[in-house]
Amino acid sequence: MEKVIIIGGGPAAISMAKIMGGKKHITIIRPENHSMIYCAMPYVIENLIPFNKTLKKDSLVTDTGATLIRDRVEKVDFEQKHVHTEKGNVYTYDKLVIATGADPVLPPIQGTDLQGVLTFKTEDDLKRIVDLAENGLRKAVVVGAGAIGIELAQALNSRGVQTHLVDMEEQVLPNLLDKEMAEEVEDELVRLGLTLHLGHKVLSLHGKRFAREVALDKGHTIHLETADNCSEDHEENVTPSLVVFAVGMRPNTGIFAGTMLATGRDGIVINDKMETNIEDVYAVGDCTQFTSAVTGDVSPGKLATNAVPMGKLLARNMLGSNERYNGFYNGAATKAGNYYVGGTGLSEKAARDRMDVIVGYADLTTAFPIMPSAGSVRVKLIAEKGSLRIVGGQIVSELPATDKVDLITMAVQFGLTAQDLRIFSYSSQPYQSYFPANNILVHAAENILEQDGAETIKKAS
């Protein structure tokens, strides 16, 4: 049986084992004790779920018939087809899959070696944050107002930790929402009690054991002292502080530095069949560099919802299929207080760098407006001017939104236009949607067509 070694134990690797286990001789090599459900980590801090529920069972891999080895790969000899590990073992492969993921970036600034300065990905990160929260943590700074940053900041805030959220962009969720859609989210985060520092870069951290000051640009400083930690010389007075950087991910490709494996800024260079530049060597998930399905340009896509389809496609191909990967649409979602928030495809800002666009909005309710449960829902659709092809969309809703994000992704993926969405056939029910008289996506598409029609009339007259 063909021997396939997969380096890494994240969702990309596990989904491959599920498809190929028993049909190929699969070996997964990963160092950590447990694979984790990273997405759920903030909700452990929030005390919504117990820590052990975020740990994936080894049987997810071993039940497939695959072998799981706890070790770290230190070197790959691509010529000999050998994998060398930290524990001194050497394994031989027929085919190698690299699924080493990405590590959070800790910026090279003064003070990141202080206690309580962390990133947020591993079991250890989570344990240390929970430990601090349970042992006197009163003030925290989260740097990076992307989805991970705002989920973590809310979790800390919910435990009574006074939390500051910093981002160098002038808005939260800069990779998910356009500025005007983010405003409602920002208001909600402030309502919850978070202090936002938008449009500010962190320059340095200062303190003796823990950070006591976070210096921002434009002359701003966040003070993390509390009454009882002003004198850190007395051991017993030291109240901890926490500074977490959630400022992006860097592909985990260090072990391949200086080898013949081709890498780019975002990771290992692959083609649409997950093949690297080396024969019989493939890469999937966060460790790879790939393109946007909308623009064809290299695009960051460090999401489990990209890693899993990449792994599945490669596994099917290894079993004889001949499929090609389109690229990233980057549909993603998060939650801010009472709002469920999501986006997909190109933002208006990103789209305008490449094409003329028309933007449509719809503001309806999540249930019939006469129902007591009715909340607000706002959708934005972005269409290319002329073709009216949908290239992206965003949603801020008081009901879970991933189903709508996914519908918009489907529209982008299958080349639907605003005209197509106007006649899209929908369902309606008093608890679950606006009146049958309208649908949130149809309404936003109508808004695009009204503007397009007005322009046509303007041009004709």
Q: Report if residue 360 touches ligand FAD, rule: CB under 6 A.
A: no
Question: Residues 31, 199, 264, 375: which binds ligand FAD (CB under 6 A)?
Answer: 31
**Residue 295 or 330 with smaller CB distance to ligand FAD:** 330
From residue 252, give the alpha-carbon distance in Å to each of 9, 104, 113, 146, 457.
13, 10, 21, 20, 54
The region of 48-56, 97-105, 181-189, 262-270 touching ligand FAD under the rule CB under 6 A is 97-105
Question: What's the full length of the chain, in residues?
Answer: 461
Taking the complex as a whole, the smallest distance from the CB of residue 447 to ligand FAD amounts, in Å, to 29
Strand locations in 326-418 (E): 332-336, 339-345, 357-365, 376-384, 390-397
**Residue 207 or 311 with smaller CB distance to ligand FAD:** 311
Question: Residues 5, 6, 8, 294: which binds ligand FAD (CB under 6 A)?
Answer: 8
**Which residue matches tokens 């084992």?**
17
**Residue 101 or 116 with smaller CB distance to ligand FAD:** 101
Taking the complex as a whole, the smallest distance from the CB of residue 366 to ligand FAD amounts, in Å, to 21
Q: To the nearest 5 percent, what fractions of the chain are helix, strand and coil?
A: 30, 30, 40
**Residue 80 or 429 with smaller CB distance to ligand FAD:** 80
Taking the complex as a whole, the smallest distance from the CB of residue 223 to ligand FAD amounts, in Å, to 27
Give the tokens for residue 361: 């909005």
Strand partners, 69: 29
Count residues binding ligand FAD (CB under 6 A). Answer: 33
Q: Report if residue 100 touches ligand FAD, rule: CB under 6 A.
A: yes
**Residue 168 or 255 with smaller CB distance to ligand FAD:** 255
- The H or E element that residue 360 is part of is strand 357-365
From residue 21, give the alpha-carbon distance in Å to each of 213, 219, 420, 425.
51, 57, 41, 40
Q: Report if residue 313 touches ligand FAD, rule: CB under 6 A.
A: no
Distance CA 321, CA 319 (A): 6
Taking the complex as a whole, the smallest distance from the CB of residue 137 to ligand FAD amounts, in Å, to 18
Question: Of residues 34-53, which lie at the interface with ligand FAD (CB under 6 A)?
Answer: 35, 38-39, 41
Question: Residues 81, 138, 212, 302: which binds ligand FAD (CB under 6 A)?
Answer: 302
Strand partners, 400: none
Distance CA 21, CA 203 (A): 48
Phi first, then psi, for residue 418 (nearest 5°) are -60, -35
Binding mask 253-292 for ligand FAD (x = CB under 6 A): --x-----------------------------xx------
**Residue 13 or 374 with smaller CB distance to ligand FAD:** 13
**Residue 39 or 215 with smaller CB distance to ligand FAD:** 39
Q: Report if residue 32 touches ligand FAD, rule: CB under 6 A.
A: yes
From residue 3, give the alpha-carbon distance in Å to each of 257, 263, 293, 295, 314.
25, 25, 32, 37, 15
Strands 298-299 and 332-336: unpaired
Binding mask 117-146 for ligand FAD (x = CB under 6 A): ---xx-------------------------
Give the tokens for residue 439: 């649908």
Q: Report if residue 10 touches ligand FAD, rule: CB under 6 A.
A: yes
Q: Closest by alpha carbon to 328, among 361, 349, 353, 303?
A: 303
**Residue 8 or 337 with smaller CB distance to ligand FAD:** 8
- The H or E element that residue 322 is part of is none
Q: Report if residue 252 touches ligand FAD, rule: CB under 6 A.
A: yes
Q: Report if residue 315 touches ligand FAD, rule: CB under 6 A.
A: no
Question: Residues 4, 5, 29, 216: which binds ligand FAD (CB under 6 A)?
Answer: 29
For the beta sheet containing 298-299, the strands, ordered from the edge strand earlier in sequence to the opposite edge, are 263-264, 267-269, 288-291, 298-299
Enumerate residues 6+ apart whose C-beta is below 8 A from 60: 14, 17, 18, 35
Q: Report if residue 345 touches ligand FAD, rule: CB under 6 A.
A: no
Phi first, then psi, for residue 119 (nearest 5°) are -110, -175
Q: Give contact residues for ligand FAD (rule: CB under 6 A).
A: 7-13, 29-32, 35, 38-39, 41, 72-73, 99-102, 120-121, 148, 252, 255, 285-286, 302-305, 307
